[in-house]
Amino acid sequence: MSLLRQFLHRHGQILILAIVLISGFATNLNFISTGARGSDDNLLFYISGLNVFHEKEVLALNNRAVKHFKQKGKTRPHAMKRLILHRDYLNEYTLPGIIHYGVSRVFKPLFDPIPSLYPMYLAQSITIGFVASFAFALSLLIGIFYFIRNSVFSWALGVTIILYGIAFYLPLKDNSFAHLVLQNSFWDMAKNTIEMLLHPSTQFSPLSFPPRSNFALLMIGVFALRWNNAYFLSYLLVILLSFIHLSSSGMLLALLFGMDVVLRPEIFRTPKIAIALLVGMTSFVLRESMFDSLIGTNALYFLIGGTIALCAVVFAVLKTSSLHNALLGDTSLYAVTQKWLLARGTVGADLILLILVWLAIAILTYGVISQLNTELFEPWFKAYNFWGRLAGRLLMVIAPAMLFGICLLTLGKLMAREGAFKHHSIIVVPGLLTFMLGILVWQSANTISADTMPRIASDFFKAEKRISKGPMPKLKAMGFSEAVLYYAISKTVDGRGRPLDRLLR
């Protein structure tokens, strides 16, 4: 026993991080095996990479598609809006797109001699691209925890990842749209929220393959750095995350800024932290192009202007002693609230604020939707695609960090007590996690199928068959025709003929 204790004392953190690596990949492969298809969304992740290196051509082809379906006049407004939205957010997933593009260039020489096998080439590029993107995110997360070098933090990460691995197998309904506030009753809202938290679907689990999942996984790293007082590094990580999922990074940046204004405004007196925040905000404002299509230019300018104005107010208060004393003095409501929150500890205070902010956003979006006349198309589109999803998507982005925080608090309290757990924790925690890992790997081996790439390639061969039939006079929202269009765009940009010409005649 003493030898085991010595081994775990020296190498316990590496063992836990190895458990995180194996359980993360086992669950990720489950999601890819059961959820990856040759869909329009997955093609858009690939096109995001093409957009980085062939931006003018990709934009020209998308503009051509928009013009074609407008002129034909047979495409319904929802499909047209989605077509324009997809064109406008091609810079949303820059880093995953680059990874997909890099993977595809490895396979390209193998398939160039046989152009008819392009569906298989694309299926391999997308599938391996998903694995490589997840590998990047998980490796970066593990690197952050290795940098932190805190055994309780590593244990909490291990428990969090194992719990998300278990969540994959829970027999609950998948929710792909996060329409938590678009429900018929409060009970339906609560039921959907609980189901999404206990069983996040392919779209929302941090161990799944879409870019949003990679983003949510690294949210754990953002808060782990903050809870180790590395605020500058956490803001730098958010800037990196903006290249994984741009729109989510904007929400996260505003959220972190608001939390720091409430709990620790003094950190913005540190020049490098203030500069990192401003760089992140500027980068988001300059690169974001999706919200204009979703909520309109006026609403977008209002959100951006409000954020900038809030930043200006905060910096003015921090720099002006009279304002500082009046608004932030020891007897002000702000100071009393801040003192109460900080008494809960750094982790506890952040968790409380995360919950309160999410509840406020859920109530706000419900109120906005109730004022929209959803009998009309434009208000319905905004409610369905933005306001109705905002609370749900924000929740699923912050949920992994919240679960990690709860695990961290629980383990910290157990370690603070004298008793058997504290004395034997160095053996008990790795032992339990290793046992759970064994169950997950065994279950994963029975879940993963060998037909993932053939299934995706089959979808693309169906797209080839549809292209061979000639022109496509209209586009259907969220259907096969969207996948056919983006398959044709991908193939055209990759230099495998001019399939888009056949569709848009």
For 342-402, the DSSP string reads HTTHHHHHHHHHHHHHHHHHHHHHHHHHHTS-TTSHHHHHHIIIIIHHHHHHHHHHHHHHH
Query: Nearest CA to 202 among 33, 76, 73, 40?
Result: 33
> Please, are residues 160 and 400 in contact by the beta-carbon 8 Å criterion?
yes
The Cβ of residue 266 has, within 10 Å, a number of other Cβ atoms equal to: 9
Predicted confidence (pLDDT) at residue 163 exceeds the cutoff of 90: yes
How many angstroms separate the first and last alpha carbons of the chain? Answer: 75
* % of the chain with per-residue pLDDT over 90: 58
pLDDT tens-digit profile of 384-440?
888 888 888 999 999 999 999 999 999 988 877 766 666 667 778 888 898 999 999
pLDDT of residue 384: 82
DSSP state letter for 267: G
Predicted confidence (pLDDT) at residue 327 exceeds the cutoff of 90: no
The listed range with the strongest mean pLDDT (160-174, 211-225, 287-301) is 211-225
DSSP state letter for 115: G
> For residue 435, with 0-12 CB atoms within 10 Å meaning exposed, 13-18 middle and 19 or more buried, which class applies?
exposed
* % of the chain with per-residue pLDDT over 70: 88
Quote the distance between the C-alpha of residue 460 and its chain's center: 26
> Please, are residues 284 and 230 in contact by the beta-carbon 8 Å criterion?
no
Single-letter residue type at 115: P
pLDDT of residue 12: 72
Confidence of residue 382 (pLDDT cuts 50, 70, 90): confident
pLDDT of residue 326: 61
Number of C-alpha atoms within 13 angstroms, CB side, residue 193? 19
For 433-460, the DSSP string reads HHHHHHHHHHHHHHH--S-HHHHHHHHH
> Please, are residues 437 and 20 in contact by the beta-carbon 8 Å criterion?
no
pLDDT tens-digit profile of 23-76?
999 999 999 999 899 999 999 999 999 999 999 999 999 999 999 999 888 888
Confidence of residue 373 (pLDDT cuts 50, 70, 90): confident
Task: Give helix 388-416 / helix 186-198 axis angle, nearest 10°.
Answer: 60
CA distances from 169 to 22, 193, 207, 431, 440 (A): 17, 18, 13, 22, 10
Average of per-residue pLDDT values in the chain: 88
Among all chains, which residue has been given the structure tokens 């805190």?
150
CA dihedral 68, 72, 77, 79 (to 10 degrees): -50
Listed in sequence order, the residues at least 6 apart from 394 whose beta carbon sits closer than 8 Å to its beta carbon are: 251, 255, 358, 361
Single-letter residue type at 475: L
For 473-490, the DSSP string reads ----TTSHHHHHHHHHHH
pLDDT of residue 32: 95
pLDDT tens-digit profile of 132-159?
999 999 999 999 999 998 989 999 999 9
Confidence of residue 374 (pLDDT cuts 50, 70, 90): confident
**Two structure tokens written together for 399:** 């949920």
Quote the distance between the C-alpha of residue 173 and its chain's center: 20
Q: Would you report the helix, strand and coil content of the chain in percent, each value rounded to 5?
A: 80, 0, 20
Predicted confidence (pLDDT) at residue 371 exceeds the cutoff of 90: no
Query: Nearest CA to 239 among 386, 227, 225, 228?
Result: 225
pLDDT of residue 368: 86
Confidence of residue 447 (pLDDT cuts 50, 70, 90): confident
**Two structure tokens written together for 439:** 């169950």
> Please, are residues 315 and 278 in contact by the beta-carbon 8 Å criterion?
no
Quote the distance between the C-alpha of residue 274 and its chain's center: 25
DSSP state letter for 70: H
> For residue 251, with 0-12 CB atoms within 10 Å meaning exposed, 13-18 middle and 19 or more buried, which class applies?
middle
CA dihedral 136, 230, 8, 23 (to 10 degrees): -30
pLDDT top residue among 397 and 331: 397
The Cα 158–Cα 164 span in angstroms is 10
pLDDT tens-digit profile of 289-305?
766 665 555 555 666 66
> For residue 479, with 0-12 CB atoms within 10 Å meaning exposed, 13-18 middle and 19 or more buried, which class applies?
exposed
The Cα 282–Cα 286 span in angstroms is 6
Confidence of residue 461 (pLDDT cuts 50, 70, 90): very high
**Two structure tokens written together for 332:** 């002000």
Q: Where are the alpha helices (DSSP H) in 168-230?
A: 186-198, 211-226
For residue 259, the SS3 value is helix
> Please, are residues 83 and 65 in contact by the beta-carbon 8 Å criterion?
yes
Torsion over CA: 193, 194, 197, 202 (sign): negative
> Please, are residues 72 and 371 in contact by the beta-carbon 8 Å criterion?
no
pLDDT of residue 473: 86
Confidence of residue 380 (pLDDT cuts 50, 70, 90): confident
